[in-house]
Amino acid sequence: MATDGSTPASPALVFGAVAQAYDRGRPGYPREAVEWLTGPEPLSILELGAGTGKLTEHLLALGHDVHATDPDPRMLDRLGARLGELRVSQTTAEEIPAADATYDLVVVADAFEYFDHDRALPEIARVLKRGGSLALVRNVRDERIPWVKRLGNLIGHHALGTGPGEELESSPYFGPTDEATFKQWQVIHRASVQDLVRSLGDVAGLPADAQEARIREVLAFYDDFGRGMDGMQLPYVTECFRAVVGIQPKTIRKEPERAADDADQPGGTGSGAEAGSTEVAGPVGKDSIPVVLAPAVEPPADDDTGMLLIRFR
């Protein structure tokens, strides 16, 4: 919570203040998990909430055409330092600056929980090509192991096997969800465990003195369970989910002249949305979800000049 009377930052923007700790302390993703998410063929991929690029580097190494986005410019700066030859945009999942049916795959790593799902899911469906998919991946500490559960008592618990979430499973825009799990171990030392703790959302949002108190608790725990210079292996289960787009909303634009005419008619724009707004047509029926978005922007053309950072706000 902000202590200066200002509006508290969005949870998704908390991590920018600890971007370096996030990059050093968070685990990556198993290569086989990324291969499961994407399949064997090269794809055009939009990555939402790319953070510092821990998943992005695998996507690029597998030969995919990747457009990485994040709402926080500080995370994108760190991503650029890691992967300079990359097309990136500062944007959110709720307002994607891309034309309809642009991408084969939209992928999200450890960020889906921060989305406004009512707005983000139709936007994701809109930018996917016919037959395209939404893929989610998250790293979950394996608290079936007693010492890992004790660590969770200090830094927050992880729950295995909770699925992709009701928001996706009940969405009219996507079909049934396939899932797979993979195991991995993160080697942590006395320094990197501090980075791991600082990078957690519940810790990053605390005042500085409260953060340091939490770090001291974790270091005391590490000194009891760690193995000196050799460190210790923290077990994770990497949970992967993939759902094919079903209903694809489309951007509907009105010509200015027509919009002006409609304003004089019953039910025209004069009695509804603001002129120039863009409506996304959702599923027809009692469960229809109207969505109003900013006009879509064509994605930037490929270039060879290195990292292209586009700030849409």
Nearest CA to 9 out of 53, 71, 54 is that of: 71
What confidence score (pLDDT) does residue 271 get?
38
DSSP codes of every residue in 13-42: GSGGGGHHHHHHHS----HHHHHHHH-SS-
Nearest CA to 194 out of 226, 146, 160, 150 is that of: 226
* CA distances to 55, 86, 219, 248 from 194, in Å: 22, 30, 8, 44
Q: Please compute the mean of the pLDDT values over residues 241-262 and round it to a whole number.
A: 72
Which tokens in the block code for residue 52?
A: 């510092």
Is the model's pLDDT at 277 over the cut of 80? no
Spatial contact of 240 and 136, defined as CB atoms under 8 Å apart: yes
Amino acid present at 139? N
Confidence of residue 7 (pLDDT cuts 50, 70, 90): very low
Nearest CA to 34 out of 104, 102, 108 is that of: 108
Percent over 90 (pLDDT), the chain: 63
With H, G, I as helix, E, B as strand and everything else as coil, classify residue 70: strand
Residue-range domains of the chain with CATH: 11-311 (3.40.50.150)
Confidence of residue 281 (pLDDT cuts 50, 70, 90): very low
Provide the 8-state DSSP code for 71. Answer: S
pLDDT digits over 290-312, tens only? 333 333 444 444 443 333 333 33
With H, G, I as helix, E, B as strand and everything else as coil, classify residue 139: strand
Count of CA atoms in the C-beta half-sphere (13 A) of 61: 13
Distance CA(309)–CA(58), nearest Å, equals 20
Strands 128-141 and 87-90: unpaired
